Amino acid sequence: MLPENTKLDQSGSEKGRNALTLRGLLAGIVCVVITCYTVCYAELVVGKIQLGYMQLPPVVIGMLALMLGARAVLGRIAPRLQLKTHEIYTIYVMMLIAAMVSSRGVLEKLIPLLIAPNYFADSTNNWKSRFFSHIPSWVVPWNPAGPAKQFAAKRFYEALRPGERIPWQLWIEPLIAWGIFVALVVFAYLCMASLLRRQWVDNEKLTFPLVQLPLEMMRGDRDAHGRPAESFLANPVTWLGFALPAVIYCVKGLHQYQPAIPNISTQFNIAQYFTAPPWNSIGMLTVYMSFAGIGFLFLLPTDLLFSLWFFYMVTRIENVAAASWGYQLPAMPMYPCRQIVGYQVMGAYVALTGYMLYSARMHLRQVWRGMWRGSAYQGEEQQELMPYRTAGWGLIISILLIALWLHLLHMQYLLALFMVTVALLLVALVMARSTAEAGMLMTETSFRPVDVYSLFADPRSLGGGNLTALAFLDGALTRDQRGLLLTGFLDSLKFADGVQVKRRSLLAVFVLALLLALGVSGYLHIMLPYKLGGVQMYGYVYMDNPVWAFADAQANLAHTNPPPAFINDLAFLAGLSIAVLLASLRTQVAGFVLNPLGYALCGSWTMKVFWFPCLVAWMLKTLILRYGGMKLYSKARPFFLGMILGEFTMAVLFTLPAIINRFTPTPNFPWP
């Protein structure tokens, strides 16, 4: 549904503003460069404050606040230079995409992955004999026929010596090759966003919680329908919410400079008090007091909030119950949950995807017909990012070409096609839903496509070529889903309605932001390690994520990983059945509170971080609605949005001195 003051012409096309203006584009380019530098330096060099990997990156909110402040000043000094709302929106979208690309969305996973196999190969892990012969020379900036720890890899991790230069010539071919891979994946995400938007926004009317804060900030003194309203930033309730995390993080920051000032802890490990068996098997139960998390989660329906923390607690009970029966639950490969939970989640993903497709059957039927016979939506389709014929066939062709790219990387084509289909149409789809419906600041899953494959066959029998290519695929695309660009595209399309911008004009904005961010951040991601040494930078990016992928492939090649267990198949069927039952009960039983999405997310790192904010938001919203109704909820809403603004603003403010001096002490923020 469009805002009331958005007009349509006789063909049904939207009469909104064009996202691209010369002034907005120039300002957007400057802001993208600043965003890329800030994210890269904060996350790679400082390594203490993660400003870019969340689905609404704090750096973007901080930059947006600065822009709005500058616009207010220019409005009094030089009104002609004042940016219009749709221009600020364009800049916001460019910064959002840039932050994700600079962080876990693309480059933090990709660049170290191209170097790590050579640097970490040694006589103990035998990576040279197991992997090097299966790596084509065009995908890495070192010679697979040569030894371990070649110059490009050794200097990347240990820094250049005086007089040495970055070996840029070695990076040209692999960057072009992986650029094609990234382009295909991003285009697939753009196609998916085009196909999903109408169903999720117009038909199902999902709330897209992450859009609401920047929309309120940008809207000024107008409501959703363009009518005069009290400005969000002029509301004293907003600044009360802002003050809560601002004061706490000021105290925490001062404590880092002067330990005599008492610290205020925002992280507390409850599991440390469960020392007696079987309770000592409860697993991770840490309180991360994120005010931003509470603020976003407060916008969700109470039944979804209850489901999110409830099912996480169920996983803790499963750990304790298994220990009480004397059963040692094995861990899920490369994920912080037990296998019995990971495979339940896998079944829940399949059920949830089936449920989403079934709910969208009318829309998908029209799209399918439009792919063959032209648009079934006639003029209304002109509002979408791409025509449905382009998006539908583009998605299919992208998947086929990504599989072909992996085949050139020595993976069997049908296996590659299976892995890509699972990654895009199962994992990424549910992760996008978790953001659009549940407002998850982090998109993290509990399984990889190869774990789905293990339901039918033994991954250990895949051979060196397949497992080497899978290691690259896991490290670059499938294991860590944080910074998922698909959610950025969908949020931007939802946001466009609120500021009356033509969605079709966003395609050029997305492409420009992507190209600029890849260029600027790509340079920084290569230059900084050669200058400072990867071993001296953020450990997760350089010594964890790229190493885990090849370590798991090595364990499969060496058969030190256990064979697939039958209990995993049972857990998958149980998760599938439970999610189907939950979805059925929600449609048939009025007031049924358990949401299958909460079950699908129960084993993820996201819920390990945000289970407590879910609990707090659920309690507060339940009390507010019960005793004050929607009137009190509407009055309280700016307070919770203010908490988000306060926490994210403090993160950016503490990052600035750390950029000047990387050893500047900073407080810890509760989104590890």
3-state SS record for 172-193? HHHHHHHHHHHHHHHHHHHHHH
- The answer to pTM > 0.85 is yes
Give the position of tokens 């699972």: 422
Q: pLDDT tens across 309-320, in order?
A: 999 999 999 999
3-state helix, strand, coil in the chain (%, to 5): 70, 0, 30
Q: How far apart are CA 518 and CA 525, in angstroms?
A: 10
Which pLDDT does position 374 carry in this prediction? 66
Comparing C-alpha atoms, which of 493, 514, 513 is closest to residue 502? 493
Which pLDDT does position 11 carry in this prediction? 34
Q: pLDDT tens across 167-204, in order?
A: 999 999 999 999 999 999 999 999 999 999 999 999 99
Average the pLDDT over 237-247 and give the result: 96
Which pLDDT does position 290 carry in this prediction? 94
Residue 485 has pLDDT above 90, yes or no: yes
* pLDDT averaged over every residue in the chain: 91
Read out DSSP for 297-358?
A: HTTS-HHHHHHHHHHHHHHHHHHHHHHHTT--PPBPTTSSSBHHHHHHHHHHHHHHHHHHHH
Q: How far apart are CA 496 and CA 530, in angstroms?
A: 40
Decide: residue 70, CB within 10 A, 0-12 exposed, 13-18 middle, 19+ buried: middle
Read out DSSP for 347-363?
A: HHHHHHHHHHHHHTHHH
Is residue 80 very low, low, confident or very high in pLDDT (cuts 50, 70, 90)?
Answer: confident
Strand blocks (E) in 125-284: 267-269
Reading the block at residue 577, the tokens are 């059945």
CA 153 to each of CA 115, 474, 619: distance values in angstroms, whole numbers, following the listed order? 5, 20, 51
Is residue 329 very low, low, confident or very high in pLDDT (cuts 50, 70, 90)?
Answer: confident
Which residues are CB-contacts of 595 (< 8 A; sequence separation ≥ 6)? 303, 304, 307, 308, 582, 586
Q: Is the peptide bond before 657 cis (omega within 30 degrees of 0)?
A: no
Report yes or no: 582 and 595 within 8 Å, Cβ to Cβ: yes
Read out DSSP for 459-482?
A: GGGS-HHHHHHHHHHIIIIIS--T
Which pLDDT does position 375 carry in this prediction? 59
pLDDT above 70: percentage of residues in the chain:
95
Q: How far apart are CA 432 and CA 349, in angstroms?
A: 12
Q: pLDDT tens across 382-434, in order?
A: 788 999 999 999 999 999 999 999 999 999 999 999 999 999 999 999 999 99
Residue 439 has pLDDT above 90, yes or no: yes
Strand blocks (E) in 51-207: none
Which pLDDT does position 122 carry in this prediction? 93
Domain locations in the chain as residue ranges: 17-660
Count Cβ atoms below 10 Å from residue 76 Cβ, excluding itself: 8
Q: How far apart are CA 562 and CA 558, in angstroms?
A: 10
Query: What's the gap between Cα 201 and its chain centre?
Result: 20
Which pLDDT does position 2 carry in this prediction? 36
Task: Give the residues across from 228 on adjacent strands.
Answer: 222
Q: How far apart are CA 263 and CA 256, in angstroms?
A: 8
Comparing C-alpha atoms, which of 635, 415, 461, 477 is closest to residue 561? 461
